[in-house]
Structure 1
Amino acid sequence: MRDPYEVLGVSKTASEADIKKAFRSLAKKHHPDKHAGDADAQKKFQEISGAYDILGDKDKRAKFDAGEIDASGNPRGFDPRAHGFQQGHPFGGGAGGAREFKFTWDNAGGESASFEDIFSDLLGGARRGRGAARAQRGEDFSANVTVSFDEAVSGGIRRIVLQNGEQLDVKIPVGVKNDQVVRVKGRGGAGRAGGPNGDILLTVHVAPHPFMTRDGNDIRMDLPVTLKEAVLGGKVPVPTPSGTLSLTVPAGSNTGTVLRLKGKGVPGRGNEAAGDFYVRLVVSLPDRPDEALKAFAESWKTSYDPRAKLR
């Protein structure tokens, strides 16, 4: 087998990071799964793997540099055929039966990683040896977004910034509730060894509305009306998340009278029916003194006791 430094194209003073980088590049280029039926590619890949088995291991590299082992990892003067190994094959095997070895190296963080792990990173699950790396689902990411009351009711599109700085337009579903978690499929961490990507778990915070509240799929609000509108009745405008609607106020209405706009609450989704919009009337007198209203009240002869029910 050729000198492992020559095989990986690195100098004898190369750092661990440089050696690993060279191996990853060559392994990705010459992996048999990318060259099906190519015997030369298979041989090249075996040579690359064998070289990294030596140089990717601190102890083996030191022994090779000291001349204690050869390029195949065998002690100097060792005959691999006498011990059941195939000549020049870093994974063993031969007439005496296949032998399996797990090669590892220390990565930059001091953790041990195997060939299987690095091939999983490189090729998304490329098969090695007699088996295949296990597919792993990518990590889920968490994110938060605040939307207006109207957006929560009617839905919309919001742009969020991911942990890696990427901007993503996310669809806010119709009728989303405060603190509801929306799953954005496939936009989380990358899967390994052919596994699916993770998701983004987006927590939606709904900003409070100045005069509307939500009760399930129903929406409620207090609507100020003039004394004239309450006494004589008539049509009044009502602001809703879907636009301004017209509401008929019955004559003789009072503060506390509740009127309903059917189906004008939160839109229905799936098997859920649309909610209703409930309006509670609040009779509102003028902010400034009204002499005509004052004179009318003073001349009004009808007597009634609004607190009779409290007795």
Structure 2
Amino acid sequence: MAGDPYKELGVARGASQDEIKKAFRKLAKELHPDKNPGNKEADERFKRVTAAFDIVGDKDKRAKFDRGEIDADGREQFRGFGGGGATDGRGPGGFGQNPFGQGSGARGGFENIDLDEIFGGMFGGGGARQGARGGGFAKGQDVRATLEISLEDSISGATRRIQFSDGRTLDVAIPKGAGDGQTIRLKGQGMPGRGGESGDALIELKLAPHPVFTRDGADLTMDQPVPLYDAVLGGKVPLRTPEGTVSMTIPAGSSSGKVLRLKGRGAFANGKRGDLLAKLMIVLPEGDDALTKLAQKARDAGPIRPFRD
């Protein structure tokens, strides 16, 4: 018979689920058989701690235990049969009097309970049966989540926080050069194991759409406004990149639609970095009388034919 699960874990009855989980993880690491080879006392305590966590680590079981509906072993609390009041289990109507109709001394319906059903959801399935009955251990289940990051984060690296459905938060280190769809594995941050190590957290990275840049594999494309005078005469204009603003030289006589390539300023794909392709978009000045007169003079001199017949 297990003791009071709250006392086994060293937490108060009013402790939160998160506090209970933290207490279990701490004790499980201290008492794990791998760390205490040949220590029977630690092994027994380890079994009691895992059994206690199975009760109060599950919200439904905890509520039943607190209401007195199940005992510390997870078995239902019976209050007698045949219409009598509660008994001590030895007299008529008590548990010892074969409530399951299987003969005196039988364990009754407990043999029909599927231990995988009890432990599987929390401790990773089939291995739980062995862990509960024979002292084996099961690794905890992995958990998966998706983290949306910016293009800038994927190129330069960053640390971003993610929150799981159970309320836990983790700080995820985004490596420099991370690619869209890349998965980051955080060891031991998954579900706790049944006596074994915890599972892992698998974080899939998704690049958010960018207001300026469009991804084309590892390359980035963008529209770059250019003043008319710089397009005609040539000059330098500020160009935004994912890592900051740089100065880009515009060749004289550049037309709208001309594409200038900046090597190695793109995104990452398959571990390689692409280029940044800036398509020039000529911007006319507003209210420039001199430019209007010049254009009129040029048109009067003869039609400009940008396309061949």
- Residues 142 and 128 of structure 1: CA distance in aligned 2, closer, same or farther (over 3 Å): closer
Matched, 1:284 2:283: yes
Q: Does the CA contact (< 8 Å) of 2:179 and 2:269 recur in 1?
A: no
Q: CA RMSD in A?
A: 4.9
Corresponding residue number in structure 2 for 1:262: 263
Cα distance between partner residues in 2 of 1:295 and 1:55: 93
Q: Deviations over 1:110-129 (max 9, x none)?
A: 95449x97xx98xx999899
Q: Name the residue aligned to 1:171.
A: 173
Q: Distance in 1 between matches of 2:37 and 2:129?
A: 15
Counterpart of 2:287, as a letter, is P
Deviation for aligned residue 1:189 = 0.6
What's the CA shift for 1:169?
Answer: 0.9
Normalising by structure 1, we get a TM-score of 0.59
Aligned partner letter, 1:160? I
The equivalent of 2:200 in structure 1 is 199
d(CA) in 2 for partners of 1:176, 1:138: 27
Aligned length: 242
Q: Which runs of 5+ in 1 are unaligned?
A: 1-6, 10-17, 46-51, 76-100
Seen in structure 2, the aligned counterparts of structure 1 residues 206 and 276 have a Cα distance that, compared at 3 Å, is: same
Q: Secondary structure at the match of 1:247?
A: strand
Q: Does 1:221 align with 2:192?
A: no
Quickly say closer, same or farther: Cα 1:152–1:104, change in 2 above 3 A.
farther
Tell me if structure 2 keeps the 8 A contact 1:227–1:284: yes
Aligned pair in 2 of structure 1 residues 291, 181: CA closer, same or farther (>3 Å)?
same
In structure 2, the CA distance between the partners of 1:281 and 1:35, relative to structure 1 (3 Å rule), is closer
Asked if the contact 2:259/2:280 (under 8 Å) is kept, the reply is yes
Identity %: 35
Whichever residue aligns with residue 239 of structure 2, its letter is V
Which residue of the partner structure matches residue 295 of structure 1?
293
**TM-score, normalization by structure 2:** 0.59
Greater C-alpha radius of gyration: 1
Is the Cα–Cα contact under 8 Å of residues 161 and 168 in structure 1 kept in the other structure? yes
3-state SS in 1 of match to 2:273: coil
SS in 2 for 1:202: strand
Shift of 1:190: 0.9
1:127 to 1:259, Cα distance in 2 relative to 1, 3 A: closer
Query: The residue matched to 2:155 in structure 1 has which SS?
Result: helix
